[in-house]
Amino acid sequence: MSAFPTPTAVLPHRPPFLFVDEVTALVPGHSGTGLWHLTGNEWFFGGHFPGRPTLPGVLMCEAIAQVGAIAVLTDERFAGKLPLFGGLDSARFRRQVGPGDTLELHVELGRMSARAGKGSGRALLDGKVACECELMFVLVDA
């Protein structure tokens, strides 16, 4: 049993748009790590691409952002808030990810204020970078 909260205990996201299966490390307000286990039954694989199912890169960025949101929302300074994407910079996709793969998602939060913040993240596949990006978000009342 993990000592960390379940994603559904922290995030408002629900399937089919909840991409974090498990939180494996967490420092509220600073960083987080989680896992996304791709089964092949996900809704996007059927059409992206038929015959060669590939995880869309933007969904890797969303999964990274969800881990970032967990790091933000477990910090009591941000209770009652909801982090929304404000921007995405320097996104790079380095590896194809498909059914049966597990992504390890890492986020380090940077500058934070009562209204906005920044973070950097990456998704690793077998220890190698599959995606990396810089996140900007705004905090609104939940």
What is the distance between the alpha carbons of residues 9 and 67, in angstroms, rounded to a whole number?
Answer: 13
37 is catalytic: no
> What are the domain boundaries of the chain?
7-141
What is the distance between the alpha carbons of residues 139 and 53, in angstroms, rounded to a whole number?
Answer: 34
What is the distance between the alpha carbons of residues 120 and 36, in angstroms, rounded to a whole number?
Answer: 18
Helix, strand, or coil (residue 139)? strand
Q: Where are the alpha helices (DSSP H) in 86-130?
A: none
Torsion of CA 135, 87, 44, 4, to 10 degrees: 30
Q: What six digits make up the tokens of 115?
A: 């209204």
Please give the pLDDT value at position 121.
Answer: 98
DSSP 92: E
Please give the pLDDT value at position 1.
Answer: 56
Class of domain 7-141: alpha beta
Please give the pLDDT value at position 11.
Answer: 97
Please list the pLDDT of the chain residue by residue as tens digits (142 residues).
579 999 999 999 999 999 999 999 999 999 999 999 999 999 999 999 999 999 999 999 999 999 999 999 999 999 999 999 999 999 999 999 999 999 999 999 999 999 999 999 999 999 999 999 999 999 999 9
- Per annotation, catalytic residue among 30, 37, 48, 106: 48
The amino acid sitting at 48 is H
Q: Select from 86, 89, 124, 133 the least CA-distant residue to 104.
A: 124
pTM of the model: 0.97
The residues facing 22 across adjacent strands are 35
